[in-house]
Amino acid sequence: MRPAIIWNGVQKMSDEDIVLSELPDDELVLQMHDDLYDGLKEEIEEGVQILLGRGWAPYDVLTKALVEGMRIVGEDFRDGILFVPEVLLSANAMKSGMAILRPLLAETGAPKVGKMVIGTVKGDIHDIGKNLVSMMMEGAGFEVIDLGINNPVEKYLEAIEEHQPDILGMSALLTTTMPYMKVVVDTLKEKGIRDDLIVLVGGAPLNEEFGKAVGADAYCRDAAVAVETAKALVSRRHNRGPA
């Protein structure tokens, strides 16, 4: 089921009639998917609180209500049904839900799948896509260390040394900054640490061929693919065990 995209009063009015706390769990979760789609921050915060109040594990609230809702948003963005502003609003709503869950997830020992260091490369200060990937990776159980924008190779190296991640993620949206990914991968090789890491790259102008050319393990088209790829590659590494 996909909610209608109506930005003016119509949908809002009918939404106002819905009292979230009166909905049974399954309907509430579906309503939260709708609210995420519509970027309704307060409603998402309220929904999260209600589910927690009903004894839901924080991890279940995260995956079933938030991550699943955001997956639908991601799909419709990919298919050209939603555009950047809508995605930003949804991401904002999800972020505020996650802010409530984060401390609880730490307390309840939710599963940790792996660790990722991510950042936009030097010269580039686009960060919407990178932030989305960070959020979805966190939602999938990865610990994410986000280095922000405009990162020279030294920043990546420091973070790798400090955090010992499984994955290094790099984002670039400019043709002029994409090649810097190769500088980073080559430096990792020089330092002899390239094979200790899974390197994922992304950003709208990149493609599979480019990912290979810079020596990444994978290019990921969007956040959903990033999560799937990260999970698959991390589990493959764990199965292989230390060489």
Q: Is 232 in the site for ligand B12 (CB under 6 A)?
A: no
Query: Which span sits near ligand B12 by CB under 6 A: 34-42, 53-61, 104-112, 166-174?
Result: 166-174
Q: Which is nearer to ligand B12, 132 or 147 (CB)?
A: 132
Q: Tell me the closest approach of the beta carbon of residue 141 to other proteins, in angstroms.
A: 25
Question: Among 29, 82, 87, 101, which residue interacts with ligand B12 (rule: CB under 6 A)?
Answer: 87
The bridge status of strand 198-202 relative to strand 167-171 is: parallel
223's CB contacts (< 8 A; 6+ apart) are 70, 74, 129, 132, 133, 135, 136, 137
Among 24-32, 60-68, 81-89, 194-202, the segment contacting other proteins (CB under 8 A): 81-89
- Which of positions 86-125 make contact with other proteins (CB under 8 A)? 86, 88-89, 92, 123, 125
Instruction: Give Cα 113 distance to the centre of its chain.
Output: 14
Tokens, residue 146: 């986000």
In this structure, what token pair is assigned to residue 192? Answer: 């002899």
Q: How far is the CB of 104 from other proteins (least distance, A)?
A: 26
Residue 30 found at the interface with other proteins (CB under 8 A): no
The two three-digit tokens of residue 76, written as one number: 């419709």
Nearer to other proteins, 108 or 207 (CB): 207
Size of the site for ligand B12 (CB under 6 A): 29
Q: What type of residue is 211?
A: G
* Token pair in block for residue 7: 């930005």
With CB under 6 A as the contact rule, the residue among 65, 140, 223, 234 that binds ligand B12 is 223
- Of the residues 16, 55, 175, 190, which one makes contact with other proteins according to CB under 8 A: 175
- Please report whether residue 83 would count as binding other proteins according to CB under 8 A: yes
218 binds other proteins (CB under 8 A): no
Q: How far apart are CA 93 and CA 66, in angstroms?
A: 9
**Tokens 């580039």 -> residue:** 124
Tokens 């292989």: give the residue. 240
In sequence order, the 6+-apart residues with CB closer than 8 A to the CB of 72 are 2, 33, 36, 37
* Interacting residues with ligand B12 (CB under 6 A): 74, 84, 87, 118, 124-130, 132-133, 169-171, 173-175, 200-205, 220, 222-223, 226
